[in-house]
Amino acid sequence: MAPPNIQAYMTRIADLWELFDKKVLPPHVHPVQRQEMRRAFYAGAFSVMEIILAIGKTSPTDQEGADALHALMTECVAFIEQLRKGEV
């Protein structure tokens, strides 16, 4: 069986930033705020990449790696729920 075409599933960080910018930031946000938000967005993306690389180096099994990624997703979902409730 041929490996899946990974490019079909890939999204560039720049594409995600553009989506975030359009959906979250007000149209007339100050340019400095937009610049700082973009920097924070990319810093978050970079941090996630570092975490994923660390998981790959420290997880001896695929299941342990998958469990670590699942824990990160659970943390993100919990944050979104707190955000919706106005707790953060």
In a domain, 53, yes or no: yes
From CA 47, how far away is CA 53, in angstroms rounded? 10
* pLDDT (tens digit per residue) in 26-41: 999 999 999 999 999 9
In a domain, 4, yes or no: no
pLDDT at 82 over 90: yes
* pLDDT (tens digit per residue) in 39-68: 999 999 999 999 999 998 998 899 999 999
In a domain, 3, yes or no: no
Number of domains present in the structure of the chain: 1
In a domain, 57, yes or no: yes
65-87 exposure pattern, b = at least 16 Cβ within 10 A, e = fewer: beebeeeeeeeeeeeeeeeeeee
In a domain, 65, yes or no: yes
* pLDDT (tens digit per residue) in 13-23: 999 999 999 99
Per the model's pLDDT, the better-predicted residue between 30 and 11 turns out to be 30
Give the model's confidence band at 5: pLDDT under 50 very low, under 70 low, under 90 confident, else very high: low
Residue type, 40: A
Name the residue range of residue 79's domain.
13-21+30-84
